[in-house]
């Protein structure tokens, strides 16, 4: 099934898209930047760079972090981080709903072409 991916540009500050939002979701799920990055086959440094970019874009931190030690460190999303996920996913749902009839028409074109090809033998 076809799907839509979105990238929202906040020029000149940068952009957010599926990957950055998924990283925030993974960090929220695992309570750790390194664990979230591992789930995405991403280095800790790359994850941290993406988080810092989002911090710059929104002017607020995405995460509250605790340094490691005997009990280990961790990270949890700030209200801003949670809002970024919620708003991005809402935009994604709205865009998918608006595009659904057009995507269906494109799929019908593909299916129609397949039917034409089968009869041309």
pTM for the model stands at 0.84
Q: Please check the confidence at residue 87 and state whether its pLDDT lies above 90.
A: yes
Q: Please check the confidence at residue 61 and state whether its pLDDT lies above 70.
A: yes
Tell me the pLDDT band of 46, cut-offs 50, 70 and 90. very high
Instruction: Identify the DSSP state of 69.
Output: S
List Cα–Cα distances, 32 to 35, 50, 66, 75, in angstroms.
5, 14, 9, 5
CA 82, CA 80: separation in Å to the nearest integer? 5
Q: Please check the confidence at residue 26 and state whether its pLDDT lies above 80.
A: yes
Domain 10-119 has CATH 1.10.10.10: yes
Q: Are strands 7-10 and 14-17 parallel, antiparallel or unpaired?
A: antiparallel
């Amino acid at each position: 099934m076809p799907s839509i991916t979105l990238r929202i540009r906040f020029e000149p500050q940068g952009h957010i898209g599926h990957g950055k939002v998924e990283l925030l979701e993974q960090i929220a799920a695992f309570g750790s930047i390194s664990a979230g990055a591992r789930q995405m086959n991403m280095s800790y440094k790359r994850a941290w760079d993406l988080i810092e970019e989002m911090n710059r874009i929104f002017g607020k931190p995405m995460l509250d972090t605790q340094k490691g030690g005997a009990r280990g460190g961790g990270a949890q999303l700030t209200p801003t981080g949670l809002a970024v996920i919620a708003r991005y996913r809402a935009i994604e749902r709205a865009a998918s709903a608006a595009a659904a009839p057009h995507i269906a028409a494109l799929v019908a074109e593909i299916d129609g072409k397949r039917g034409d090809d089968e009869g041309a033998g």
